[in-house]
Amino acid sequence: MGKKFISIKMNFIKTRSHITYEKRYGVDYLIIGKNDKYEKYPSQPNSQLTPADEEMKIKKDSFEALKLFEAEIGYSFNNIELLQEARMQASNKRTAFFGDAVLDFIVSEFLFKNYAELDQGQLTNLKSHLVCDEKLEKIVKKNGWDEYLILEKGIPGKSKKMNSTFLEAIVGAIYLDTGMGSTKRFVCQFISTLKEAEKSMKTLVSPKVKLYEFCQQRYHGFRPESFMVSEEGPPHDKTFVMGYMLPKDITGLKSDISGEGVGKTKSDAETKAAEKINSRLIRLGIMEKE
């Protein structure tokens, strides 16, 4: 009996292609038509993989992966191309930029309505804690969503920033698909619960905020500014060295107080640099130890 093909026409990865898929290892295997030449996507089964592993690989990389991913995030797209765009690490930055703003608004609104006792600085700090790269990456990896992120050719692995950008792109895609209501419901599944926010209150004061507040109170409104010492590595996997300095003419000490921190994002590096400054201030007996 010959192979049975199901054909559909749609826009796929920004180009109009004739797409068919067939059953292989019990799952749909995507074939994309380009100028009457057919290429199989993904590549031919790898003989080093077991049939079960190969089946999972094909599932994750095929058109069916979109439907599987929809089921996992609990949202069904009207325009599934938006989800495919969000999955492509090479081209999801614009959607992630938009998703970041939407996520920021949803979390800000939630905190504003539920934490009337917090001032602006505390709300800002709590929001930053809830939507930082580390938190977003944790959500992606905990749910196994990182397996659906398709990397640009030549990139060896998925970094924290890639995973957090992926989640922001998903948020942006849902908003573009059906608007704010659906996006809020999605976000509330993983980040905007009262329990999550209350848990985060325990770590409300970050080293950076602690340093800022200390300097403003002790040094008459002085706000230390971070500066970049260096950055290394390829665009997809950079390492940053950031620093802070308290000038001696501000502190009244004999020398400047400085600290540097290393991180995969500027924010992480700044946090570590602030920790070093705070530790020095505590050792000098200037800042109280909590």
From 10-24, 131-145, 260-274, the region with the lowest mean pLDDT = 10-24
Question: 178 and 211: one domain?
Answer: no
| Domain membership flag for residue 100 | yes
| Domain membership flag for residue 106 | yes
Task: Please report the pLDDT score of residue 268 as a whole number.
Answer: 85
Confidence bin at 289 (pLDDT 50/70/90): confident
Contact between 242 and 227 (Cβ < 8 Å):
yes
Question: 196 and 216: one domain?
Answer: no
Domain-ending residue, one of 186, 201, 216: 201
- pLDDT over threshold 80, residue 167: yes
The whole-model pTM stands at 0.54
Question: 113 and 190: one domain?
Answer: yes
| Domain membership flag for residue 130 | yes
Q: What is the mean pLDDT of residues 213-239?
A: 89
Angle, CA of 15, 90 and 271, to the nearest 5°: 155
Question: 15 and 30: one domain?
Answer: yes
Cis peptide before 42 (omega within 30 of 0): yes
| Domain membership flag for residue 82 | no
Per-residue DSSP letters for 105-118?
Answer: HHHHHHHHHH-TTS
Question: 100 and 196: one domain?
Answer: yes
From 64-73, 116-125, 280-289, the region with the lowest mean pLDDT = 116-125
Torsion of CA 44, 48, 50, 52, to 10 degrees: -40
Question: 174 and 226: one domain?
Answer: no
**105 to each of 83, 99, 113, how far by Cα in Å?**
21, 10, 12
Domain-ending residue, one of 201, 220, 243: 201
| Domain membership flag for residue 289 | no
Task: Please report the pLDDT score of residue 65 as a whole number.
Answer: 80
Task: Please report the pLDDT score of residue 153 as a whole number.
Answer: 81
Percentage of the chain beyond pLDDT 90 is 40
Contact between 209 and 123 (Cβ < 8 Å):
no
Question: 218 and 196: one domain?
Answer: no
Supply the CATH number for residue 241's domain: 3.30.160.20
Question: 244 and 182: one domain?
Answer: no
Task: Please report the pLDDT score of residue 179 as a whole number.
Answer: 96
Task: Please report the pLDDT score of residue 95 as a whole number.
Answer: 96
Question: 99 and 177: one domain?
Answer: yes
Q: What is the mean pLDDT of residues 222-239?
A: 91
92 or 3, higher pLDDT: 92
The two three-digit tokens of residue 285, written as one number: 């007996």
Q: What is the mean pLDDT of residues 195-213?
A: 69
- What one-character DSSP code corresponds to residue 91? T
Phi, psi of 3 (to 5 degrees): -70, 140
**137 to each of 8, 143, 159, 160, 163, how far by Cα in Å?**
34, 10, 9, 6, 5
Torsion region of 51: left, alpha or beta (phi above 0 gives left; psi -120 to 50 gives alpha): alpha
Most confident of 37-46, 164-173, 189-198, 232-241: 164-173
Domain-ending residue, one of 201, 222, 252: 201
Separation CA 181–CA 174 (nearest Å): 10
Separation CA 171–CA 102 (nearest Å): 7
Task: Please report the pLDDT score of residue 183 as a whole number.
Answer: 95
Contact between 137 and 111 (Cβ < 8 Å):
no
* Secondary structure class of 235 (helix, strand, coil): coil
Task: Please report the pLDDT score of residue 7 as a whole number.
Answer: 31
Domains held by the chain: number: 3
Question: 220 and 191: one domain?
Answer: no
Task: Please report the pLDDT score of residue 191 as a whole number.
Answer: 66
| Domain membership flag for residue 225 | yes
| Domain membership flag for residue 223 | yes
| Domain membership flag for residue 14 | yes
52 or 174, higher pLDDT: 174
* Domain enclosing residue 270, as ranges: 207-283
- pLDDT over threshold 60, residue 13: no
Burial of 278 (0-12, 13-18, 19+ CB in 10 A): buried
Question: 153 and 238: one domain?
Answer: no
Task: Please report the pLDDT score of residue 213 as a whole number.
Answer: 83
Task: Please report the pLDDT score of residue 121 as a whole number.
Answer: 74
Task: Please report the pLDDT score of residue 171 as a whole number.
Answer: 97
Supply the CATH number for residue 158's domain: 1.10.1520.10
